Structure 1
Amino acid sequence: MSEVLADDVRLLREALAGPDDAVNVTLTLPRDSAQKVLALLGAERTTGAVVVPAKELFTTTEAANLLGLSRGMLMKHVNAGDLAHVMVGTHHRIPARALAEFERARREKRAEAAAALASFSNEVGLVD
């Protein structure tokens, strides 16, 4: 960790130790760290839940476990172009950002399906 980033971490910890709800600090971050902070804040704003991946690229087995899929099903999504990947030699690797996007798209599809089912149930009179 660079000295600048270590100082920023120290300042943030000190500010969080205070009694105030609002934390006001000025940080100088490397571009990669700033992009991660921005992604973290965006995820918290849009989903209310935050998952911080420990690394940028996941093996297909790790990605499948994170998504709750079998490795075979994950590979079907990769081969269909539903899930972005990169090749490292002859091995597929799934970027953390691609996992988040894939999961967001799955949630949206589920919500659309639930709304369609509710609409159909109302049309046929199954629900008052």
Structure 2
Amino acid sequence: MEAAHFLNVSRPFVINEIEEGRLPHRMIGTHRRIAFEDLVTYANKMREKQAAALERMATNARELGLI
């Protein structure tokens, strides 16, 4: 699945995100199709969440005196 490769995640992860409604798609027969614009938007949101999580971890480490 090209979307999984683009996002650098597993195919089951992409399917789960589709089924949970977090990644828009359309069905063509039995195949799921994801618009490239939706894939880029999803990837950007994913990166923003990752950056926020890393910042929270760094803040917690500073508060605990670990760094």
| Alignment size in residue pairs | 67
Partner Cα separation in structure 1 for residue 33 and residue 16 of structure 2: 14
The code of the aligned residue for 2:5 comes to N
Which of structures 1 and 2 has the bigger CA Rg? 1
Q: What fraction of aligned residue pairs are identical, expressed as a percent?
A: 37
Residue 10 of structure 2 corresponds to residue 67 of structure 1 = no
4+ runs deviating over 3 angstroms? none
More RCO (CA 8 Å, sep 6+): 2
Q: Which runs of 5+ in 1 are unaligned?
A: 1-60
**Equivalent residue in structure 2 for 1:101, among 28, 38, 41:** 41
Q: Provide the alpha-carbon RMSD of the alignment.
A: 0.9
Match of 2:34, SS? strand
1:89 corresponds in structure 2 to 29
TM-score (norm 1): 0.50
Which of 117, 120, 123 aligns to 2:57? It is: 117
TM-score (norm 2): 0.92
